[in-house]
């Protein structure tokens, strides 16, 4: 009887150990938490979801922001010229930056990162994506050759046609610098056109595009909207 009990205990121990070993072999298995209340916060955490939230709509912890609020640091991220108002943008937006070599070179880097895959190194629409899907314009031909900084800035921000908005990828200062570099490509000389817009012997006042010599109105990259964040009415749930 004693031997049978001893062997039974040993067999049970071996079986239990094998089960533990097998369960721990799965790296994706988090195992069991001891006293999970020590790990999971009782108050709702907007960036962490464990169980369905019975108070908020759709069962999530995050809530719709209050109407009129703007994310911190994003007040000047979008100008208040509407997305369908490219004509207004080209009339009222003025590039606040000078056409210096440093700004143009930075614009070239930003263009290479964000635009070249479609618009091509020469601005002729022959980037890898442009070649694949066709229809990407050549900056040096037709109406595209005369687009001013405000028009280009607006299209970068809001997109146009098949081009998606890039306002969340590049901030206002970066958009102006890209617009500067697009003006270089409008000359049809590719990156070599930089030297024509930034000669070291020019006076500072001459390094600004003549058609954009001064700000006009209130629609500037460094001017915040007076009515930011015009969102939908909040749809937060109730504690019923």
The rounded distance, in Å, linking the Cα atoms of 200 and 183 is 18
With 70 as the cut, is the pLDDT of residue 50 above it?
A: yes
Backbone angles phi and psi of 148, in degrees to 5 = -90, 180
* pTM to 2 decimal places: 0.56
The rounded distance, in Å, linking the Cα atoms of 84 and 146 is 20
According to CATH, what is the number of the domain 86-212? 1.10.760.10
* Torsion, Cα of 74, 75, 81, 84 (10° steps): 30
Token pair listed for 146: 């005369």
What integer is the mean pLDDT of 60-84?
A: 72
DSSP structure class, residue 138: P
DSSP structure class, residue 145: G
Domain boundaries, the chain: 2-59, 86-212
pLDDT at position 236 is: 43
With 60 as the cut, is the pLDDT of residue 231 above it?
A: no
pLDDT at position 41 is: 73
What integer is the mean pLDDT of 6-15?
A: 66
**Mean pLDDT lowest for which of 41-55, 135-149, 197-211?**
197-211
SS3 label, residue 220: coil
């Amino acid at each position: 009887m004693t031997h049978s009990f001893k062997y039974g205990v040993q067999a049970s121990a071996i079986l239990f150990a094998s089960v533990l070993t097998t369960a721990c072999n799965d790296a994706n298995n988090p195992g069991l938490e001891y006293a999970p209340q020590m790990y999971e916060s009782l108050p709702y955490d907007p960036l962490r979801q464990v169980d369905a939230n019975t108070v908020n709509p759709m069962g999530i912890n995050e809530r719709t922001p209050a109407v009129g609020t703007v994310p911190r640091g994003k007040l000047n991220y979008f100008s208040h010229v509407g997305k369908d108002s490219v004509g207004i943008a080209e009339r009222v937006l003025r590039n606040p930056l000078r056409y210096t070599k440093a700004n143009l070179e930075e614009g070239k880097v930003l263009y290479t990162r964000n635009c070249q895959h479609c618009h091509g190194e020469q601005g002729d629409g022959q980037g890898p994506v442009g070649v694949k899907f066709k229809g990407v314009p050549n900056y040096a031909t037709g109406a595209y050759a005369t687009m001013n900084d405000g028009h280009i800035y607006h299209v970068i921000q809001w997109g146009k046609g098949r081009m998606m908005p890039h306002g969340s990828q590049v901030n206002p200062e970066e958009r102006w610098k890209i617009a500067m570099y697009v003006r270089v490509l409008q000359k049809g000389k590719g990156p070599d056109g930089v030297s024509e817009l930034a000669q070291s012997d020019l006076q500072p006042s001459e390094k600004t595009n003549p058609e954009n010599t001064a700000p006009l109105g209130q629609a500037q990259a460094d001017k915040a909207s007076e009515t930011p964040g015009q969102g939908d009415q909040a749809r937060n749930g109730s504690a019923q």
